[in-house]
Structure 1
Amino acid sequence: MADITLKGNAISTIGDLPKIGSKAPNFTLTTVDLSHKSLSDFEGKNIIMNIFPSVDTGICAMSVREFNEKASGLDNTVVLCISKDLPFAQARFCAAEGLDNVVMLSDFANGDFGKDYKLNIANGPMADLHSRAIVIVNPKGIVTYTQQVPEIAEEPNYEAALKAI
């Protein structure tokens, strides 16, 4: 269980992010066109998982914009922006922002991704939403970097994440 805060108030997650060096747990998530993507669809690429509570909050939206810009020039790398937002909200956000260098994925259907990656918020007003986290997976499916952002209202460490590629 990771201890984090929401605007300074203590909350926690249901567990700890996958260990560096471990095989990334597989997942099936819904895309903005309502099709499904799994981890194996991105096999052979570096994967940046930008995970957050909702694209309808300022910091979450900022992280999508930042990774859209900063990771667009990286070779053999895909950015997956993952939340429990409905795919329609994710599509609307990307269209309004003109973002096309990220893949938006939704865990709305069953929440298994948040459970399997142990990043769901366990208590407080945002219980059951995803915490803000970064998970980097190499082309062989191995976790090479994680960051459980300690304060939900703060941005992740983009520089450290990008250096892990």
Structure 2
Amino acid sequence: MTNVTFKGNAVTLLGNEQKVGDIAPDFTVLNRDLEPVTLHDFDGSVRIISVVPSIDTSVCSQQTRRFNEEASGLENTVVLTVSVDLPFAQKKWCAAEGLENVITLSDHRDLSFGKAYGVVMKELRLLARSVFVVDAAGKIVHAEYVSEGTNHPDYEKAIESAKKA
């Protein structure tokens, strides 16, 4: 299992670690209107899944903005930002940031995504910063578990994987 720290403290990741080549597991999360959303709702598209501990922090905010800006020029690609923030907070953040086309998804209800992708930080009940790129056929072509939760992911590598997918 991947070793991850958050603010320098080791955390225990719960769930199933995913690797390049794995078939992306499905999950059920909530959108900003409290409607259930699954990975299969985006079948046929390349999916960049940007996972953040809390959208309303500086690194998480920057990560969300950067992936959405970078992916806007990619064909057949959607960026999904997943956190355990309540859908109401995600909606408020998007409005405050002026980002209408960002797809934020909340895993607060039952940690379906977090457990399926092995990113639940047991000690904090937050999701560990990570990025997954799933191709249109449903295969993981990029998986990054960021070793320190307050660091940025490798944006270039993830975007390059999405371009190739």
Common fold, TM-score beyond 0.5? yes
* CA shift for structure 1 position 57: 1.4
Looking at structure 2, the residues matched to 5 and 24 of structure 1 have their Cα atoms a distance apart, in angstroms, of 24
Q: What TM-score results when the alignment is normalised by the length of structure 2?
A: 0.93
CA RMSD of aligned residues (A): 1.3
Aligned equivalent of 2:155: 158
Deviations 1:2-56 (A, max 9, x none): 2112222222312553121111001111000111211111000000000011112
1:138 lines up with 2:131 in the alignment: no
After superposing the two structures, state which structure 1 stretch, 130-139 or 100-109, moved more: 100-109
Aligned equivalent of 1:72: 72
Q: What TM-score results when the alignment is normalised by the length of structure 1?
A: 0.93
Counterparts in 2 of 1:2-13, with a 5 A limit? 2-13=2-13
1:149 lines up with 2:126 in the alignment: no
Deviations 1:122-143 (A, max 9, x none): 33xxx22100000110000001
After superposing the two structures, state which structure 1 stretch, 39-48 or 10-19, moved more: 10-19
Looking at structure 2, the residues matched to 50 and 18 of structure 1 have their Cα atoms a distance apart, in angstroms, of 14
Deviations 1:101-142 (A, max 9, x none): 42110011111211111111133xxx2210000011000000
Counterparts in 2 of 1:83-162, with a 5 A limit? 83-123=83-123, 127-162=124-159
**Identical-pair percentage:** 43
Looking at structure 1, the residues matched to 3 and 22 of structure 2 have their Cα atoms a distance apart, in angstroms, of 22
Name stretches of at least 5 consecutive residues in structure 1 with no aligned partner.
none
The question of whether the paired residues in 2 share the 8 Å contact of 1:51 and 1:83 is answered with yes
Looking at structure 1, the residues matched to 100 and 139 of structure 2 have their Cα atoms a distance apart, in angstroms, of 26
Secondary structure at 2:14 match in 1? coil
Secondary structure at 1:164 match in 2? helix
Deviations 1:71-113 (A, max 9, x none): 1111000000000100010011111111134211001111121
Looking at structure 2, the residues matched to 42 and 15 of structure 1 have their Cα atoms a distance apart, in angstroms, of 23
After superposing the two structures, state which structure 1 stretch, 53-62 or 40-49, moved more: 53-62
What amino acid is aligned across from residue 135 of structure 1 in structure 2?
Answer: F
Looking at structure 2, the residues matched to 157 and 102 of structure 1 have their Cα atoms a distance apart, in angstroms, of 20
Aligned equivalent of 1:14: 14
Looking at structure 1, the residues matched to 11 and 107 of structure 2 have their Cα atoms a distance apart, in angstroms, of 21
Looking at structure 2, the residues matched to 102 and 138 of structure 1 have their Cα atoms a distance apart, in angstroms, of 19
After superposing the two structures, state which structure 1 stretch, 136-145 or 94-103, moved more: 94-103
What amino acid is aligned across from residue 152 of structure 1 in structure 2?
Answer: G
